[in-house]
A = this chain, B = another copy of it.
Amino acid sequence: MTTAHSPLVQAFDLLAEARAAIETPALVVDLDRMDAAIERMAGLMRERGVALRPHAKTHKSLEVGHRQLDAGAVGLTVGTLGEAEVFAAGGARDLFIAYPLLPVGAKANRLRALAAGDVALSIGIDSVAGARAIAAALGADAGRVRILVEVDSGGRRTGVAPSGAGRLAAEAAELDLGVVGVFTHGGHGYADPAAGAGAADDEVSALAEAADALLLAGVEPVVISAGSTPTAVGSARGVVTEERPGTYVFGDRLQVGLGSIAADAVAAMVAATVVSVVAGERRFVLDAGAKILSKDVAPYVAGHGAVPELGGAVVSRVYDYHGVVELPDDTGAAMPAVGDVVLVVPNHICPVVNLVDTFQVVQGGRIVDEWAVDARGRNG
């Protein structure tokens, strides 16, 4: 509950009449902050001459995706075939499924239909079995998709060892798949605020080694793609041709805690109503629980969310529909009353978006729009 463990995010404006109009709990997006984040990342990548392909799993929203594309993104990244279908149907013309897709059964038919449409499609592989499934699903259309070999840069999740990328690329090429490059995700940059720089370096060295391995195997690595907000916002990285940050579009407590975005830049918060206060205690309960805040935690932030306007008070416990806030004495903040509507900064915004049907969009503290979470729940 110390300041060091609770980055003091600054809330955006939400006027009293907007608070009264919102049916809580609700996810609220500050349009100006979001647009500024989109432009800031686009500008940084323009400056570096690097292609920007934002990960759309963060927002799952056609409206937000089109704003990213309008600002200069070359295309969007998605995590599932279902997300790709939604964004393709919504007009995206260039999509990368950055996942070792395994299109069998009904998914094979879905992939074939998607690839036959009006979208440039890239897909990740990290095994021959995956490459075979993609080739089998696409049949004569195999040449219509671009294949990227995933390499593990230290996240110990998916991806082959960088030295093995050439062999897998060659095996995929033998299946008539068009291998165009390599990609990685340095997810270990989320471990703590000091980890980002190392993970960024790890991404670069893994990608460089993998790109060399492709060349040795006779496959030209045109796309060399790295991806996460903490590693993208660091210094420029020579070998990388494409960055795939996602969370930067909204930000959250983890990103502020990691130093990846500024404390006054978080663009999405949960509006919640105080439904219970305990007489004589500095504890109250919000109608925002785990079914909207989710349960992501990290060692460098306290609890499950924070309330900036109450001195950064921390949501210390969440249940399905309850968020319990403990108001430390040293915040100086007065206890709220039952019925007060406050803004809560989530720890990790991606799962929060997936728990609502719509964004309430505010500008200058007023509700100006409502956007759908178009790809909500498209898990497969």
Contacts and interface: CB of A to CB of B under 8 A. Distances in A.
A129 B321 contact: no
Interface stretch (A43-51, A112-120, A195-203, A273-281): A273-281
B283 A156 contact: yes
A100 B317 CA distance: 17
A295 B292 contact: no
Contacts of A338: 102, 127, 129-130
A277 B295 CA distance: 27
Contacts of A291: 351, 354, 377, 379
Nearest to A99: B321
A47 to B, nearest CB: 29
Contact of A285 (B157, B277, B321, B337): B157
A107 interface: yes
B380 A25 contact: yes
A153 to B, nearest CB: 14
Interface residues of A, number: 60
Contacts of A337: 129
A79 interface: yes
Interface in A283-297: 283, 285, 287, 290-292, 294-297
A105 B18 CA distance: 11
A276 B158 contact: yes
Contacts of A129: 337-339
Contact of A273 (B23, B102, B287): B102
A322 interface: yes
A70 interface: no
Contacts of A320: 57, 79, 350-351
A79 B292 CA distance: 13
Contacts of A157: 276, 285, 317, 319, 322, 324
Interface in A91-108: 99-102, 104-107
B276 A127 contact: yes
Contacts of A104: 20, 273, 339
A379 B318 CA distance: 14
Contacts of A350: 320
Contacts of A25: 379-380
A133 interface: yes
A260 to B, nearest CB: 17
Nearest to A164: B279
A142 to B, nearest CB: 18
A17 to B, nearest CB: 11
Contact of A105 (B20, B105, B107, B187): B20
A356 interface: yes
A283 B159 CA distance: 12
B23 A126 contact: no
A153 B127 CA distance: 54
A334 interface: no
Q: Which 7 A-B pairs have the closest CB atoms?
A: A129-B338, A295-B295, A158-B276, A79-B321, A100-B275, A127-B338, A100-B276
Given A130-B275, A156-B283, 12 more contacts: A21-B106, A57-B320, A102-B338, A129-B338, A130-B276, A157-B317, A157-B322, A158-B275, A158-B285, A158-B322, A290-B351, A355-B377
11 contacts: A23-B106, A23-B107, A102-B273, A102-B338, A127-B338, A156-B324, A157-B317, A157-B322, A290-B296, A291-B377, A295-B295
